[in-house]
Amino acid sequence: MSQPAAIVCIGEFLWDVLPVGRQPGGAPYNVARHLQHFGQPVQLVSRVGNDELGGELLAVMQQQGLDCQLIQRSQSHLTGVVKVNEEGGRRTYKIVEPVAWDYVQHSEQLRSAVAGARMLVYGSLAARRSVTRETLYRLLQVARFNVFDVNLRPPHYTPMVVQYLLRQADLVKLNEQELREIMGWFGQPATEATALPWLAAHFHLQAICLTKGAAGVTLWQQYQPCHYPTVTGLEHDTLGSSDAFLAALLAHWGSPEGVRAAVQDFTALQQREAPTAQPNT
């Protein structure tokens, strides 16, 4: 067994089925592959079926040089699939359930990897069903730094679960629509200037990253918001650009260069990957 990864991502690993074909996807996978691109040791925790589609996903990881040790194989559930449709220039997603990544089993191997990791990255989709949700809850208790990539996909979440995941987080990444919805649960205004400090205080968060499409990014940290209005590429959020930005942010987290270096790396990555950008499932 290799040494525990510096960053562990947990959750959905699947095939996005688009009108033009299928490609590997899932926000945790997207973040993991970008972290590797940015030179970060990373491991992905997920589960695929013991089927052809699962084998093909593992082959993709191996080709990309990603560590497959924490990808479980299921004998009873098929590999995850998301059906992506385009209507009037808008993408809609049908996230099939139940599938293999809904049944990630807790193990000492997972616990050891997360306990030794620098960060644990997770989203709300990983908690849509009880088995993976309970595994995630147990791993959150031993992680050193918890990164919650909110990623609300109706009907695959409940306010109660999302609030629990917020309470476990140190850093939260969300978009403006998600901020409005969460603040609405509490009857609070979603104005950025008041919502971010309220959310941080209510859930004891160290930092919040708010992605705003063409308007860029706001990073709220230590009671001081920093605005980055010209982050080229985030205007195409549905193409997975926010996953790439989160990876860039984590790659530079705690470094002297900070977010400015993350913005530079993200912009360069978007310019290289523009023709092959992936859907943000």
Asked if the model's pLDDT at residue 1 lies above 90, the reply is no
Largest pairwise CA distance in the chain: 49
Q: Which tens digits make up the pLDDT trace of 154-207? A: 999 999 999 999 999 999 999 999 999 999 999 999 999 999 999 999 999 999
Query: Is the model's pTM score more than 0.85?
Result: yes
Strands (E), 96-179: 119-123, 146-149, 171-175
What is the residue type of 246?
Answer: L
Strands (E), the chain: 7-10, 14-18, 21-25, 42-49, 71-74, 80-87, 90-95, 119-123, 146-149, 171-175, 207-211, 217-221, 224-228
For 224, phi then psi, to 5°, come to -135, 110
Asked if the model's pLDDT at residue 55 lies above 80, the reply is yes
The closest alpha carbon to 200, from 174, 228, 237, 230, belongs to: 174
Domains of the chain, by residue range, sit at 7-12+26-45+103-276
pLDDT band with cut points at 50, 70 and 90 for residue 91 = confident
What is the pLDDT, as a whole number, of residue 267?
79
What is the pLDDT, as a whole number, of residue 145?
97
What is the pLDDT, as a whole number, of residue 4?
44
How many Å apart are CA 13 and CA 26, to the nearest integer? 5
Measured at the CA of 28, the angle between CA 10 and CA 177, to 5 degrees, comes to: 115
How many Å apart are CA 228 and CA 118, to the nearest integer? 26
**How many CB atoms are closer than 10 A to CB 232?**
15
Q: What is the residue-averaged pLDDT of the chain? A: 89
What is the pLDDT, as a whole number, of residue 187?
98
- The answer to whether the bond into 98 is cis (omega within 30° of 0) is yes
Half-sphere exposure of 103 (CA within 13 A, CB side): 15
Query: Is 7-12+26-45+103-276 a domain of CATH 3.40.640.10?
Result: no
DSSP state of 67: B
How many Å apart are CA 86 and CA 162, to the nearest integer? 28
